[in-house]
A and B are shown apart, each in its own frame.
Chain A
Amino acid sequence: MKEIKCECGHVNPVGTVLCEACGRPIEGNQHLDGNNEKRLLNMRYDGTARRSQTYNKSIIDKIWSFFSSVKVGVWLIVLALVASMVGTIFPQEVYIPANAPSRDPAVYYEDQYGIFGLIFYQLGFHNLYTSWWYLVIIALIGISLVICSLDRFVPLFKALRHQKAQKHISFLSRQRLYSETDVASNEEIETVKNNLKKQRYNIKEENGHILAEKGRFSRWGPYVNHIGLIIILVAAILRVTPFFYMEEYVWVREGQKPIVIPGTDGQYYIENKDFILETHSKDDKRFEAAIAEEGMIPSNFQTDIVIYQTSDKTVPGADAELDPILEGSVRMNDPAKFDKYTVYQSGYQLNEFTSMTFRIHETADTEEAALDTFTVDLTAPEAEYNLDSGFRVVVDKYYPDYYLDSNGIPASETNFPRNPAYVFLIYPPNSDTAEVSFVGIGRNIDATGENIYKLGIEDFEMHDVSGLTVKYDRSLPLFGIGAAIFMIGVIQGMYWQHRRIWIHPSENGILMAGHTNKNWFGIKKDIEKVIKGTNIKMVEDQQELDEK
C-alpha cells in the first residue's frame, strides 16, 4: 500500500485529504471531500484518511462504506420516521377500545375504517412497532451508528491530537475566515496572544506560528451521544428476554382471599383491602366552572393492598401459609414496590356483586311476606339450595353479566358478576315439580304466568375490583444510562464549539485564519475581541463573499 509524502516531508496514510502536518491539500485526493475547484477547504474530519473513503475493494469494504455514509444514515432515519407516522393513522391493536363491537383486529379495522383499515391491517401496521421490518430498520440504524462513528472518530482523534501549529499558507488562505495583515509588530502579536488566553484559548506555538484552540472536547459530542443511543438499542433488545422484563395484569376483588400474583412463581399473593375512587369536590370554588362543564372529575384511584409471601413452612400440596410482607396503597403515579416487583394502579371495575339474598314469597301476597330466604355467594355459587322450610332451589342457569344478544337470547357479556341474572327452579316443600323463575336486577319474569311462588331480591353486597399491573423491568437502568450519555453527548456537541485560530507570520505581518465546526458568529466575535487595540485586520468571511 502506497503512503503519500507531502511536500513538507510528512508521510500521510493513504486516503488523506489534507496533509496531517502542514494542512496542504493532497493532490489527487480532493475529490474525497468534494474539494474540487472549491475555493474553501472542506474541513470535516480535518481531511484525515477515513476507511470508508479509502478502501472499496472487498465486500467488507463496501458494507463498511455503505453504513458509514451519513446519507444512508439519514435515509434510515427518514424511513423510520415515515413508518412511525403511518402507524399512527389508526389506533394500534393494543389501543382498540374495550367497548368496540369486535376487538378482533381482522374485523375491527375494516369495520371501523373501511378499505383503508383493511389495508392497514393486512400490511401489519396494526402492530407496527413490534413488526419485524420496523425492528430491522431500527437495527440497521444501530449498525450504521457504530460503523460511522468508528470510521470518523479514530482518524479525527489522532489528527487533532497531533496537529501542528505551523500550517501551509494554502491551508490558511482557503479557510472560511481569513485575513492578511501586511504589517504587524511584535507587541501587537503579543497582545493578540494575551487576548486569546483571556478568551480561554489554548495556545500552541512553533517557530512563531500560533495555533489557538478551544472547545475541542465538543468534537467528541456526537460520538458520545451515539454511544448513548447504542446502549438504548441494546437495552431495547435485552428487554425482550424474561430475565429483564416481566409484566402481568391481575384483577383483585375487594374482600377476596389473597390470590397468587401471576409471574412470581407462586411466591407472592395479593389481597385487595379496599379500592378507593375519589372525585374532586363540586364545592371547590376554583373548579366550579370546569366541573359544571365536564361532570365529575376523578381525583384519586387507589387500592389498599397487602402482599404476602409464601412461607418456607408451606407443605407441598396444602394451602400456602402466607406471611404479610407489605401493607400499603397503590395510587396512580405512586406505585408500590416489593422484592424486584412494582405494582401499578391500572384499572378498576366498580360495583361487582359479592352476594345476593333472595326471598321466597307467594305471588298473590301483596305484602310479600318471606316464606324463606337464601343467599347466593357469587364468589362460589352453589348448584342447589336446600332450605329449612323445605323449599329446594336449583340454579338452572346463571348469567354473571346478563344481556340479550343480537338474537334476543340471554347471554353473559363477561364472566364477572356485574349484572347477575338467574334461571331458578323452585321446588316447593314435598313437591317434585318445579316452577321456573327468571330473576335479575330489576327483572323478575315468570315464564308461564302461573307460578305460585315468586322470588324477590332481599339484599345484596357489592365490591369493587382493582386492576393492577405487576412487573419488573431490569432494563430500566440501562435505558437510563443510555439516555444520560446521549444527553451529555448532545449537550457537549451542541452547546460548545471547537474553535481554532491560526496565525502565520509573513514577511512583515501575519496571516490569520479561523475555523469552527459551528457558530461562526461566535468565533467572529471572539476574533473581534482578540484584535482589539491592534492594527491587525479582521478576518473576512470568504463563504459570504463566495455567495455574492
Chain B
Amino acid sequence: MDILSVSSGALYSAFVLYLIATLFFGATVRDKRTDKKQHTVSAKIAITLTIIGFAAQIVYFITRWFASGHAPVSNMFEFMTFLGMCTVFAFIIIYFYYKLSFLGLFALPISMIIIAYASMFPTDVAPLVPSLQSHWLYIHVTTVALGQGILFISFVAGLMYLIKEIDQTVKSKKTMWLEIVIYILFIFIGFIGITSAFGMMNYNATFEYPSGGETIKSEYKLPAIAGPNEGTLITENVMEPWFETPNWLQGQDAGRKFNTVIWSLITGTILFVIVRLIIRKRVGAAIQPLFKNVKADLLDEIGYRSVTIGFPVFTLGGLIFAAIWAQIAWGRFWGWDPKEVWALVTWFFYAAYLHLRLSRGWHGEKSAWLAVIGFGIIMFNLIVVNLVLAGLHSYA
C-alpha cells in the first residue's frame, strides 16, 4: 500500500477516535450524579481512546515525514494538523496531572476543529523551497506549535470557567460576549461543514484575474459569492459571482479566501440560529448545568498553569528559535514581517497576562476572559495574517 494513504488513513482514524473519546468524556458528565464507578470507567475509556488517537496521529506524522523526506510542518495543512496534535498532547499531560475529565469535553473538540480546519488547505506533499531547507524549520515550527497547543488549554479552561460562572439568569454584557465567542466557534464549524459538503461534490469554478501585470487563475471550491477583483469566470454552468472582492484584500487568491469567509459566516450563522431555535435559550445557558460539579477554582488554576507552562515554550519557539533561523536564512534575526510582529504581540499579551495575575483582582473571571482573547490573538495570527496580510510566512 502507498505510504501516503497510510498516513492520511492514520490521520482520519485519529480524528474519529477523538470524536468517540469526546462522547465518552461527555458521559462522565451525566454519570457524576448517578454512579461514581461508571463515571471513572467512562473517563478511563475516554482518555485511553484519546491516547490511541494521539498515537495514530503520530503514525500520520512519521509516515508523512517518511514519504516526503522532510518533517511535515512546512505548509498550512501540515502546520495546523500538527497544532491540533500538540493541543491533544497538552491536554493529555494536563489530564494526568489534574484528572479533570471535563476538560476533554472541550479540549478535544477544539483540537478537532483545528485539524478539520487544516484539512481545508491543499494536502499535497510539496517540496521545500530553499528558505525552508533548514533543520531550524522543524525546530522552530514544532516548538511554536507545542507552545500554542499548551496555551490553547488555557483557553479551554477559561471558556469553561466563563460558561460555569457567568450568571445566565439575567442578560448582560458578559452573557452577550460569551455568546459571541460561542458563535465564532459555530462559524468554524460552519466553515468545515460547507467546505466538506462542496468538496464532496467536487465543485469547481475557475476565474482569471490580473495581478501585477500577469493573469492569474484562481480555483473556487465554493460557489462564488465574491469573485476575484476584476476577475472573469471561465468555467461554464456555475453560479456567477454576486460582487467583486475589494482590492485592498492582498495576497494570493484573496478573492477565493474572502469568498470562503463569507460562506463560513453564512453557514455558521444558520447553524447557530437553528440551535438557538431548538434550545430556546443562550447556548451558554444551555451548557452551564453540565458544570455544576466542577470547581471554578480548579478551572482557574488549570488555565493559569497552562499559561505558565506554555509561555516559556512559546517564547523559545516563536521568538528565539525563529530569530536564530531568520539569522541563518536571511541574515537578519528580526524583520518586522507581519507574522513576526504578531508572534511578538502574542508574547507581549501573555506577558501582560502573567503580570496581571500577580494581583489578586485578575484571578478568576477576568483572567478567563484574557485566556479567550489570547486564543483569539493566536488564531488571528494563523488565519488573518496568513490570508490578508501577505508576508514571508504566508505559505498558504
Q: Which A residues form the contact surface with B (CB < 8 A)?
A: 34, 42, 44, 70, 73-74, 77-78, 80-81, 84-85, 87-89, 91-92, 94-95, 97, 99, 112-114, 128-129, 247, 280, 284, 286-287, 289-291, 293-294, 297-301, 331-335, 342, 344, 346, 469, 471, 476, 479, 483, 486-487, 490-491, 494-495, 518-521, 541, 543-544, 547
Q: What distance in Å separates the Cβ of B354 from its nearest Cβ neighbour in chain A?
A: 9
Within 8 A of A (CB), among B277-330: 295-298, 301, 304-305, 308-309, 311-312, 315-316, 319-320, 323, 327-330
Residues of A within 8 A of B328 (CB): 333-335
Q: Which residues from chain A contact B333 at a C-beta distance below 8 Å?
A: 476, 479
Check B331–A471 contact: CB distance below 8 A: yes
A290 x B126 contact (CB < 8 A): yes
CB-nearest residue of chain A to B346: A81
| A residues in contact with B223, CB < 8 Å | none
Report chain B residues within 8 Å CB of A547: 296-297
Q: What are the residues of chain B within 8 A of A335 when measuring CB–CB?
A: 328, 331
Instruction: Please state if A74 and B331 are interface contacts (CB–CB under 8 Å).
Output: no
Question: Which of the segments B40-48, B50-58, B185-193, B335-343 contacts the partner chain?
Answer: B335-343
Interface residues of B in 181-223 (CB under 8 A from A): 212-213
Q: Closest residue of chain A to B219, judged by CB?
A: A293
Q: Is B235 an interface residue (CB 8 A)?
A: no
B320 and A487 contacting across the interface, CB-CB below 8 Å: yes
B residues 338-362 with Cβ under 8 Å of A? 338, 341-342, 344-345, 348-349, 351-352, 355-356, 358-360
Besides the contacts A70-B358, A479-B323, what 19 more A-B pairs have beta carbons closer than 8 Å?
A44-B358, A81-B348, A87-B341, A89-B389, A91-B391, A92-B336, A284-B127, A290-B124, A290-B125, A291-B126, A294-B126, A297-B126, A332-B131, A469-B331, A486-B315, A487-B320, A494-B312, A495-B308, A495-B312
Contact mask B223-238 → A, CB, 8 Å, 1/0? 0000000000000000
Tell whether, in the assembled complex, residue B312 and residue A80 are in contact, meaning their CB atoms are under 8 Å apart: no
Complex: A88 Cα to B385 Cα, angstroms: 9
Nearest CB of A to B349, in Å: 6
* A483: B residues at CB distance < 8 A: 319-320, 323
Please tell me if B133 contacts chain A, counting CB pairs below 8 Å: yes
Which chain A residue shows the least CB distance to B213? A99
Closest Cβ neighbor of A82 among chain B residues? B345
Decide: A299 and B312 in contact? CB cutoff 8 A: no
B298 touches A521 (CB 8 A): yes
Contact B331 A286 (CB under 8 A): no
Establish whether residues A113 and B133, one from each chain, have CB atoms under 8 Å apart when the complex forms: no
Q: Is the CB of A286 within 8 A of B309?
A: no
Instruction: Say which residue of B248, B297, B323, B349 sits within 8 Å of A81 (CB atoms).
Output: B349
Q: Does B98 contact A (CB under 8 A)?
A: yes
Chain A residues within 8 Å of B358, by CB: 44, 70
Nearest opposing residue in chain B for A300, CB measure: B130
- Kindly provide the distance from the CB of B327 to the nearest chain A CB, expressed in whole angstroms: 7
Given the complex of chains A and B, what is the CA–CA distance between A297 and B70 in angstroms?
15
> Beyond A286-B125, A333-B131, A479-B333, is A521–B301 a contact (Cβ under 8 Å)?
yes
Contacts of B71 in A (CB 8 A): none
Asked if B342 and A287 sit within 8 Å, CB to CB, the answer is no
Find out whether the CB atom of A494 lies under 8 angstroms from the CB atom of B309.
yes
How many pairs of A and B residues are in contact by the CB < 8 Å rule?
A: 151
Q: For residue A544, which residues in chain B have a CB less than 8 angstroms away from its CB?
A: 295, 297
Chain A residue nearest in CB terms to B348: A81
The 10 A-B pairs with the shortest beta carbon distances in the complex, nearest first, are A290-B126, A332-B130, A344-B331, A81-B348, A290-B124, A280-B127, A88-B338, A289-B124, A494-B308, A333-B134
**A490-B127 contact given A81-B349, A518-B304, CB 8 Å threshold:** no
Give the residue name and chain of the A residue nearest to B351 (CB). Answer: A77
Report which B residues bind A (CB closer than 8 A): 67-69, 97-98, 122, 124-131, 133-134, 212-213, 248, 295-298, 301, 304-305, 308-309, 311-312, 315-316, 319-320, 323, 327-331, 333, 335-338, 341-342, 344-345, 348-349, 351-352, 355-356, 358-360, 385, 389-391
Q: Quick one: closest B residue to A229, CB to CB? A: B351
CA distance A74 to B320 in the complex (A): 22
Q: Could you list some 17 contacts between A and B, CB below 8 A?
A: A34-B360, A42-B360, A81-B349, A286-B125, A293-B122, A297-B127, A297-B129, A299-B129, A332-B131, A333-B130, A333-B134, A334-B328, A490-B315, A494-B312, A495-B312, A519-B301, A541-B297
Contacting residue for B391 out of A73, A95, A521, CB 8 A? A95
Instruction: State in angstroms the CA–CA spacing of A346 and B130 once bound together.
Output: 11
Q: In whole angstroms, what is the CA distance A113 to B247 when docked?
A: 9
CA distance A42 to B358 in the complex (A): 11
Quick one: closest B residue to A99, CB to CB? B212
Q: Which residue of A lies closest to B358 (CB)?
A: A70
- Please name the residue on chain A nearest to B380 by beta carbon: A85
Select one of B97, B297, B315, B319 contacting A543, CB under 8 A.
B297
CB pair B125–A287 under 8 Å, yes or no, is yes
> Within the complex, which residue of B248, B309, B345 is in contact with A85, where a contact is CB–CB below 8 Å?
B345
With contacts A80-B348, A81-B352, A346-B331 known, is A129 near B336, CB below 8 A? Answer: yes
B248 contacts across to A, CB distance below 8 A: 112-114
Interface of B is mostly: helix
Cβ A519 vs Cβ B305 within 8 A? yes
Chain B residues whose C-beta falls within 8 Å of the C-beta of A81 in the assembled complex: 345, 348-349, 352
Residues of B with C-beta under 8 A to A298? 129-130
Q: How far is the CB of A261 from chain B (nearest CB, A)?
A: 14
- Bound Cα distance A316, B355 (Å): 62
Bound Cα distance A335, B325 (Å)? 12
Nearest B residue to A493, CB-CB: B308
What's the minimum C-beta distance from A320 to chain B, rounded to whole angstroms?
26
- Residues of chain A within 8 A (CB-CB) of B311 are 490, 494
A346-B330 in contact given A42-B360, A129-B336 (Cβ < 8 Å): yes
CA distance A99 to B212 in the complex (A): 8
User: CA separation between A286 and B296, bound complex, in Å?
Assistant: 50
Contact partner of A521 (CB less than 8 A), chosen from B98, B320, B336, is B98
Q: How far is the CA of A271 from the CA of B17 in the complex (A)?
A: 59
- For B391, the closest partner residue in chain A by CB is A95
- In the complex, residue of chain B having the shortest beta-carbon distance to the beta carbon of A236: B334
CB distance from A57 to the nearest CB of B (A): 25
Given contacts A77-B351, A301-B130, contact A88 B342 (CB under 8 A): yes
Q: Which of A77, A293, A487 is B124 in contact with, Cβ under 8 Å?
A: A293
Docked CA distance A544–B301 (Å): 12
Q: Which B residues are CB-close (under 8 A) to A42?
A: 360
Give CA–CA (A287, B4) in the complex, Å: 12
Does the CB pair A74–B312 fall under 8 Å? no
Do the beta carbons of A287 and B308 come within 8 Å of each other?
Answer: no
Q: Which residues of A contact B359 (CB under 8 A)?
A: 70
In the complex, how many angstroms separate the beta carbon of A177 from the nearest chain B beta carbon? Answer: 12
A430 to B115, CA, bound (A): 81
Nearest Cβ distance between residue B365 and chain A, in whole angstroms? 11
Rounded to whole angstroms, the CA-CA distance of A332 and B129 in the bound complex is 10
Determine how close the nearest CB of chain A comes to the CB of B371; give it in whole angstroms: 16
A74/B126 in contact, CB under 8 A: no
Bound together, the chains give a CA A367 to CA B212 distance in angstroms of 42
Q: For residue A479, which residue of chain B has the nearest CB? A: B333
Residue of A88, A114, A342 with highest tally of chain B CB at under 10 A: A88
Report the bound CA distance from A420 to B333 in whole Å: 38
A342 to B327, CA, bound (A): 11
Chain B residues positioned under 8 Å from A91 (CB to CB)? 338, 389-391
Query: Which B residues are in CB contact (< 8 Å) with A84?
Result: 341, 344-345, 348
The answer on a CB contact under 8 Å between B327 and A77 is no
Residue from the set A73, A291, A344 with the largest chain B CB neighbour count within 10 Å = A344
Smallest beta-carbon distance A135→chain B, Å: 13
Which residues from chain A contact B329 at a C-beta distance below 8 Å? 332-333
A213 to chain B: closest CB distance in Å? 20
Q: Which of A94, A286, A291, A491 contacts B68 (CB 8 A)?
A: A286
A286-B67, A495-B312, A544-B295 known; A333 and B133 CB under 8 Å? yes
